[in-house]
A and B are shown apart, each in its own frame.
Chain A
Amino acid sequence: MNIQLDREILLTVLGRSQGVVDKRQPMAILTNVLLTAVTGELKIIATDLEVSLEQACPAKVKDAGQVAVSARKLFEIVRESSSDKITLKALDNKGLEVSYGRSDFKLLGIDPADHPGMPDSTAGAKNTEIISLPVAELSEMIRKTVFAVSTDDTRSNLAGVYLDKTDKGNGVRMVATDGHRLAVIERKLSSGAIGGGVILPRKGVSELAKLLVDQDGDVTITLTGSEAIATVGDCTISMRLVEGTFPDYKQVVPKDSPKVVTAERDELLQSLRRVSILSSERARGVKFTIKSGLVTVSANNPDIGEASEELVADYSGDDLEIGFNARYVIDVLGVLPEHARVELCLNDQMSPGVVRGDDRDYRYVVMPMRI
């Protein structure tokens, strides 16, 4: 292999690979990227066996070939370069020589045949479904749900976003929950239809979101029953689906919330950020005291002190006191549009509340805290 490529493009591609390679080192090969030079381009594959990413970038290829070297080190070498062009040359000992300007690096490599490469997506695939939707929409769906994914590894069935069909029409629904709050968003598909639901792993979805930045057009997602393979531009990301049953999320979305408080999103977000400074470290509890036309947000920590703040809101029902983890409310306000109004749809102290903006296809359910 002997190729020359553009530093900027190579850096972007290697940057995306960083999130995918395995940082722990049970298998050294998984900390490597597999570089394959073919006519006119360099293919770069990174995998941790759960999530695999293949990208291509244009290259001036003198000799084709293949090497596997440390993803981290190659990335750092390219990042620190001040030249526009980078030359990569395979060495006899399976290593890689990286050179630019007056710098020269020789990286040790591993036999490329030992690298697992991309999973064989055709193997065992029976009911393959192919869907596509605009990049911007998928990006938004991920951004508005992924923060609610559980980080608790004892609940593996919650460790991803759930992709489901919509009740009617050719839409797709994305759901994420950690058992305390749940985000659900629906969008129309450009083509295809989704059958049963699948759980996409958190890591795969986060890496997919990074690929969508600065891209146009549609994303194509192929579901094979065990893998989800997304293709956008020159990138293909494949992720193993999470096994397990996603909880019946439809049951917990309240059908009817009699008490609706409408407030300015920016004001509410800032109030919560301020008041929650004095909520307890772990539970982050804040109390909403809701009266006609007025919401008081307060926090009380016996070890530190207390805080309260009043804000004007549209509300005309019975008085209500309800507690929430401030973090959960701040999270959703953070992804709702700025300079707009939000609705807090409540029932009573013990029942789930719904937070939503103008977009009725995005809802966020949050369980209260006992106060």
Chain B
Amino acid sequence: MILHADMDAFYASVEQRDDPSLRGRPVAVGFGGKRGVVAAASYEARKFGVRSAMPSSTAKRLCSEIVFKRCRMPVYAEISAHVREIFYRYTPLIEPLSLDEAYLDVTGSLRLFGSAAAIAERIRREIYDELNLPCSVGGGAGKLVAKIASKKAKPDGLLIVQSEGTLAFLRPLRVSEIWGVGRVTEEKLLSMGIVTIGALADRRSDEIERELGSWGPLLQGLARGEDLRRVEGDRSRKSYGEENTFNDDVSEREVIEGMVIAHAETVARRLRANATCGRTVTLKYRPSTRNDSFRLVTRSRTLPVPTDDGPTVSKTAMALWDAEVDPPPIRLVGVQISGLDRDKPLQLSLFGESDDSGESGRGGEDRDRRRALNAALDDIVERFGSSAIKRGRSE
């Protein structure tokens, strides 16, 4: 049995919680200025048609009394960590999808706590009691059903679909409810006369495959309630990443470097928290050119030795940036590390792990100092939060 827990209008709810004057009013979190984007909208704002990812100017046009609040990422991250703590009381199998939603596999916890509904209700209650925030939970035999159920349960609700009811639940829904079915796929299915998940399930599989390719059988399986995707806890993840969108086009190297350093530190800290290292550093960015705005550019480099060190990651990412010929102004920049290696590097180094500079001949000593520094940083962040200390640049 899998639960999908999703905080209701997460950022907006936090703002309304912390500022009572906002309760009951339409609130958008994001940057209200020109070219700003809505990151989250309260339910009051959604009534006017305001949605996340919408340009702020559109939101203001739809709802003139909307209140804009700046994003307070560190606060949301802290609350998210607390929510995750609550999840961990019920199962170790947690797959966070973002700060505000996660899958939980509670199959093994049912005997301890009774039913999925009982667990879901306790989670909702504890989040409300401890954080004063609403959370909706859906449950089902697979991820797909759980996710759709949580959406149906919103706001502040609970919906568990029992295994035997899976097909009855799925069949009448539109195919677009399946995660991953976007406009293009939906149009293809519509052109085949397929509107509902039930119709997709009943169609001959070779027809579906002809139209959708190798994805067809997978999709049809989901429609038939065959959802074997496992909840992938932190232990089986493939990469760690962090990114941000700028309010304005950015082309100054210093600004980009500042964000890259911050992202690299966050990613490296998460690697260390999970006692893992990564080999491949990926820099991604989105050029601001208007007609090109959906193109995400990624550049990767594989390090000789896996690392969990922030400066090593940021230096590599910036080297990738500097290697770009004529880089465009950008709207988004992100750092990702993959090629995860839980085992410590097997091959020992003569000069220390990430001694690219070669300037220190005492590589081993340098590495030990870096480890000690990272451990101290992690301690401070653990106790005082991630905004307590930041990596600076030295010229």
Contact = CB atoms under 8 A, between A and B. Distances in A.
Interface of A: 150, 152, 154-155, 157-158, 177, 179-182, 244-248, 250-252, 283, 285, 323, 325, 350, 352, 365, 367-370
| Residue in B344, B361, B362 with the greatest tally of chain A CB atoms within 10 Å | B361
A157 B363 CA distance: 15
B346 A369 contact: yes
B357 A180 contact: no
Given A152-B304, A245-B358, A283 B347 contact: yes
Contact of B361 (A155, A157, A247): A247
Contact of B346 (A152, A246, A370): A370
Contacts of B350: 177, 179-182, 247, 252, 352, 365, 367
A251 to B, nearest CB: 5
A246 B319 CA distance: 20
B203 interface: no
Interface of B: 301, 303-304, 316, 319, 344-351, 355-359, 361-363
A154 B316 contact: yes
Contacts of A248: 361-362
Contact of B358 (A157, A250, A350): A157
| Residue in B304, B344, B358, B359 with the greatest tally of chain A CB atoms within 10 Å | B358
Contact of B348 (A154, A247, A369): A369
Nearest to A367: B348
A365 B303 CA distance: 22
A280 to B, nearest CB: 9
Given A155-B304, A179-B304, A245-B358, 6 more contacts: A155-B356, A155-B358, A177-B350, A180-B349, A250-B361, A252-B350
A180 B350 CA distance: 5
A154 B319 contact: yes
B351 A252 contact: yes
Given A154-B304, A248-B361, A251-B361, A367 B347 contact: yes
Contact of A246 (B301, B316, B358): B358
B contacts with A: majority SS:
loop
Contacts of B347: 180, 283, 325, 367, 369
B315 to A, nearest CB: 10
Contacts of A250: 361
Nearest to A325: B347
Contacts of B358: 155, 157-158, 244-247
A245 B359 contact: yes
Contacts of A369: 346-348
Contacts of A152: 304
A154 B303 contact: yes
A179 B344 CA distance: 17
A150 to B, nearest CB: 8
Contacts of B351: 177, 179, 247, 252
B380 to A, nearest CB: 30
Nearest to B350: A252
A323 B348 CA distance: 10
Contact of B362 (A157, A251, A367, A370): A251
A154 B356 contact: yes
Contact of A179 (B346, B349, B359): B349
25 contacts: A154-B304, A154-B356, A155-B356, A157-B357, A158-B358, A177-B350, A179-B350, A179-B351, A180-B347, A180-B349, A247-B350, A247-B355, A247-B358, A251-B361, A252-B361, A285-B346, A323-B346, A325-B347, A365-B350, A367-B348, A368-B348, A369-B347, A370-B344, A370-B345, A370-B346
A285 B355 CA distance: 23
A245 B351 CA distance: 13
Contacts of A247: 350-351, 355, 358, 361, 363
A116 B356 CA distance: 33
Nearest to B352: A179
A365 B349 CA distance: 11
A285 B316 CA distance: 28
B348 A350 contact: yes
Nearest to B349: A179
A285 B242 CA distance: 35
Nearest to A246: B358
| Residue in A155, A247, A251 with the greatest tally of chain B CB atoms within 10 Å | A247
A250 B301 CA distance: 30
Contacts of A252: 350-351, 361
Contact of B357 (A245, A325, A352): A245
B304 A370 contact: no
Contacts of A158: 358
A245 B301 CA distance: 22
Contacts of A155: 304, 356, 358
A366 B356 CA distance: 19
